[in-house]
Amino acid sequence: MKLNYQNQASLIRTREQQIADFIGYHGFTRISDIFIIPKNVHNTRSYIKKHIVRTDHLRYPINVKIEERDYGLQDYYIRSFGEDFNLILFRWYEAWEKPIKIYSLGPGIYKNKEVSNLMLAQVFDAPNQLSDLQVKLLNCPSPFEELKSSLSKEFEVDCLRVWGV
Amino acid sequence: MERYKKILEETETVELEGYGKGLPIWRPYGMQIMKNIVNRFIDHLYDKIKFEFVEHPMLIPKEEYLDLFENIEFENLYTLDFNGRKYILKPDSLQFNFDYIFKHGIDAVLSIGTGYRYETGITPPLFRDRHIWPFVQFNHVIEAEEVEQTLLTHTNILSSLFEDLCLPHFFVDSGKKRNYGLHQINGMSFLDTDELTIISMSYVLSESFSHHFNTRKKLIDTGFTEKLLAMCALLNIDEKGLILPSLIAPYNVVCFDRNERPVSKDIIESTSQDNLRVYSDNSSRNIKRKFDIWEKKGVNILILTDGNSIEKVVRRYDKKAEPFTSVRRLSEILKENDEFLRTRNRRFMEKLNSENQEYYLQAFCKDCSLETTVFGEIFPHKTAICECGKIGLEYLVTYDKKIY
């Protein structure tokens, strides 16, 4: 066999802990990471008087086709490095205590290869808090080889996204 | 069966519908409980067997996977094209684990990973998911004459874990598993509906696996999943919510102040001894709300403070209050908590010996066992006298062979 091992388990765990410590220090809480998301699930819309007000769109940056036994090739997202991701559903956004500062950490695709510790983080807070946090995260020493961020919207709400390996 | 889902979501343990059917999302509280469960297993394992931790990628080149499982048809794999190559999403770590063992000349490895299995139909969350986390898989290579003793060691380790979780349990040797296993030892427990369920599995893998790795040794595959937490949420509850076994509770003690002031540092320090996991809830919620939340989350002890003094200590398991006397007493309460759960769950084990319609234990000799629907032999094997008078073994008899 010629499998590409990632058998340095302790190194991977140490790195995971370094990232978790860094991001935890900035007030983020962790949710589990899921490697693939079906493209069509939970992309539901909520309406008020026939006007679409919210759209759930769980997603990762890269699209793949995955073969399912009963349905053939289906569209999925694969956990990957990049800006276009959303980790939470609108009903979670509504229900969870604010501000929401969450991250997931685990396997993902970076430069066309699988890596062990890809971090995707998302923050919902007041716009000035988001920009302050963005500056803080990008300007302090971090354990990431590459760390990026963007300010945009999700559910028509201001949102900071941070992604790194 | 439905209540565990409600409790796990209300306690912010896991979002069961998560990223789609069978793709639950674990929240920090749930991740911590699961980590504590896995750590208990590791502690018990360390006492008995030398092993290494391993980590593996999610994407497995398809041709290499099929090379190992050439004689076995799997219908529950996800396959994808990525960068011009066909991959399988890792359904478990068996292949990687044994390959690592033989490559590095060691006896055993433990992987705590993730598995993807294609599932359809009604699949209760955490019992049968498409994304399984954690997927705890312990693989062990032994000499043929060591099989019985090794399986006994593995089941003892699992039994210690299930004791920590206060789950009623026993083990059954279900014999040969098609062309996959020469033996299958199932860890068994009970749903809240009294039905039997499987909570762990240990296989002695079939000859085709040994042949693949070019060895005469026997390959053992032992594992469990997230289902253990679902089982705790099914059996270790009351009308208020979870009652977590003390060894897996993220917090054994939660303190909060009567007048919504921050809990005194002296109190935190004095209670954080004896390996107790202590948390102070300094949020602005009112006292009743704090009691409700932490009781529902299954924290073992709630402490109400008033400035620098402790007003009362409330035990989660029986909801009774007592004055604070010492940290040692807090540790005693944790033992009482676990004993309360074990005693309460003992009723399930008693059903095995009663006149139950669905399942029961009975002694059979080899000939008589062939005439009855038996699920398997109780493990460790127990000698007993069959009704025909011959010496036999104790069996689990079930009318429903499909137990999951």
In SS3 terms, B240-297 reads as CEECCCCCCCCCCEEEEECCCCCCCHHHHHHHCCCCCCEEECCCCCCHHHHHHHHHHC
A3 vs B78, B80, B96: nearest CB: B96
Distance CA(B391)–CA(B403), nearest Å, equals: 28
Q: Which residue of B has its CA nearest to A116?
A: B57
Domains of chain B with bracketed CATH? 3-235 (3.30.930.10), 244-339 (3.40.50.800), 355-398 (no CATH)
CA distances from A138 to A25, A62, A99, A144, B110 (A): 14, 24, 20, 10, 37
Q: Quick one: which of B388, B338, B346 has its CA closest to B363? A: B388
Supply the pLDDT for residue A46: 59
Q: Is B216 exposed, middle or buried (0-12, 13-18, 19+ CB in 10 A)?
A: exposed
The structure tokens listed for B147 are 């099989």
pTM of the model: 0.94
Distance CA(B248)–CA(B235), nearest Å, equals: 15
Distance CA(A99)–CA(B358), nearest Å, equals: 51
User: In chain A, positions 65-104, which contact chain B (CB-CB < 8 Å)?
Assistant: 65-70, 76, 78, 92
Q: Is A136 exposed, middle or buried (0-12, 13-18, 19+ CB in 10 A)?
A: exposed
A64 vs B18, B82, B114: nearest CB: B82
Distance CA(B40)–CA(B160), nearest Å, equals: 9
Shortest Cα distance, chain A CAs vs residue B157, angstroms: 23
Q: Do B56 and A5 touch (CB under 8 A)?
A: yes
Residue A89: give the domain boundaries: 9-34+82-164
Supply the pLDDT for residue A4: 43
Shortest Cα distance, chain B CAs vs residue A73, angstroms: 9
3-state SS of chain B: helix, strand, coil percent to 5?
Answer: 30, 30, 35
Supply the pLDDT for residue B197: 95
Q: What is the mean pLDDT of residues A83-95?
A: 91
Distance CA(B393)–CA(B8), nearest Å, equals: 40
ipTM of this model? 0.90
Would you call A137 an interface residue with chain B, using a CB distance cutoff of 8 Å? no
Q: Which residue of B has its CA nearest to A24?
A: B28
Distance CA(B210)–CA(A154), nearest Å, equals: 52
B26 vs A32, A69, A112: nearest CB: A32
Q: What letters, b where the CB count within 10 A reaches 16 and e where it falls short, cover A36-68? A: bbbbebbeeeeeeeeeeebebbbebbbebebbb
Shortest Cα distance, chain A CAs vs residue B149, angstroms: 29
Distance CA(B374)–CA(B383), nearest Å, equals: 16
Q: What letters, b where the CB count within 10 A reaches 16 and e where it falls short, cover B103-130? A: eeeeebbbbbbbbbbbeeeeebbbbbbb
Supply the pLDDT for residue A3: 40
DSSP A79: -
Chain A residues in contact with B81 by the CB 8 A cut-off are 64-65
Residue A24 placed within a domain: yes
Supply the pLDDT for residue A1: 35
* Helix residue spans in chain A (DSSP H): 9-25, 90-95, 127-139
B58 vs A29, A64, A107: nearest CB: A107
CA distances from A124 to A89, A90, A129, A159 (A): 12, 12, 9, 5
Would you call A107 an interface residue with chain B, using a CB distance cutoff of 8 Å? yes
Side chain identity at residue A153, one-letter code? K
* Helix residue spans in B314-371 (DSSP H): 327-352, 366-369
The structure tokens listed for B75 are 């219908």
Q: Quick one: which of B231, B37, B196, B249 has its CA closest to B126? A: B231
B301: phi then psi, degrees, rounded to nearest 5: -140, 135
The string of pLDDT tens digits covering residues B189-247 is 999 999 999 999 999 999 888 988 899 999 999 999 999 999 999 999 999 999 999 99
Q: Do A64 and B31 touch (CB under 8 A)?
A: no
- Provide the number of structural domains found in chain A: 1
Supply the pLDDT for residue B2: 82
Shortest Cα distance, chain A CAs vs residue B132, angstroms: 10
Q: Do B58 and A114 touch (CB under 8 A)?
A: yes
Q: Which residue of A has its CA nearest to B35?
A: A32
Chain B residues in contact with A4 by the CB 8 A cut-off are 57
Distance CA(B80)–CA(B138), nearest Å, equals: 27
Chain B residues in contact with A37 by the CB 8 A cut-off are 19-20, 23
Ordered per-residue pLDDT tens for chain B, 404 residues: 788 999 999 999 999 988 888 999 999 999 999 999 999 999 999 989 999 999 899 999 888 888 777 656 667 889 999 988 999 999 999 988 999 999 999 999 999 989 999 887 777 889 889 999 999 999 999 999 999 999 999 999 999 999 999 999 999 998 877 677 888 999 999 999 999 999 999 999 998 889 888 999 999 999 999 999 999 999 999 999 999 999 999 999 999 999 988 898 888 888 888 889 999 999 989 999 999 999 999 999 999 999 999 999 999 999 999 999 999 999 999 999 999 999 999 999 998 888 767 888 999 998 888 887 788 999 999 899 999 999 999 999 887 667 77
Cis bond upstream, residue B61 (ω within 30)? no
Residue A147 placed within a domain: yes
Residue A46 placed within a domain: no
Contact B130, B23 (CB under 8 A): yes
DSSP B145: G
Contact B360, B395 (CB under 8 A): no
| CATH code, domain carrying A27 | 3.30.930.10
B211: enclosing H helix or E strand:
helix B207-212
Helix axes B28-48, B147-164, angle to 10 degrees: 140
A-B Cβ pairs (cutoff 8 Å, strict):
105
Residue A72 placed within a domain: no
Q: What is the mean pLDDT of residues A67-91?
A: 91
Q: Quick one: which of B370, B368, B366, B371 has its CA closest to B381? A: B366
Residue A45 placed within a domain: no
Helix axes B327-352, B227-235, angle to 10 degrees: 90
Supply the pLDDT for residue A5: 43
When pLDDT is cut at 50, 70 and 90, the band that residue A2 belongs to is: very low
Percent of chain A at pLDDT above 90? 65
Chain A residues in contact with B123 by the CB 8 A cut-off are none
Give the neighbor-by-neighbor strand order of the sheet with B321-322: B278-280, B253-257, B301-306, B309-315, B321-322
Residue A144 placed within a domain: yes
Q: Which residue of B has its CA nearest to A30?
A: B28
Distance CA(B291)–CA(B311), nearest Å, equals: 14
Q: Which residue of A has its CA nearest to B11?
A: A96
Shortest Cα distance, chain B CAs vs residue A106, angstroms: 10
Interface probe, candidates B13, B14, B15, B136, chain A, greatest A C-beta count within 10 A: B15
When pLDDT is cut at 50, 70 and 90, the band that residue A53 belongs to is: low
CA distances from B340 to B135, B149, B292, B348 (A): 29, 32, 21, 14
Shortest Cα distance, chain B CAs vs residue A31, angstroms: 5
Shortest Cα distance, chain B CAs vs residue A139, angstroms: 27
The distance from CA A132 to its chain's CA centroid, rounded to whole angstroms, is 20
3-class DSSP assignment, residue B361: strand
Q: Which residue of A has its CA nearest to B80?
A: A66
User: In chain A, positions 32-51, which contact chain B (CB-CB < 8 Å)?
Assistant: 32, 34-38, 41-42
Supply the pLDDT for residue A6: 44
Computed over its alpha carbons, how large is the radius of gyration of chain B?
23
* Biggest CA pair distance of chain A: 60
Contact B384, B392 (CB under 8 A): yes
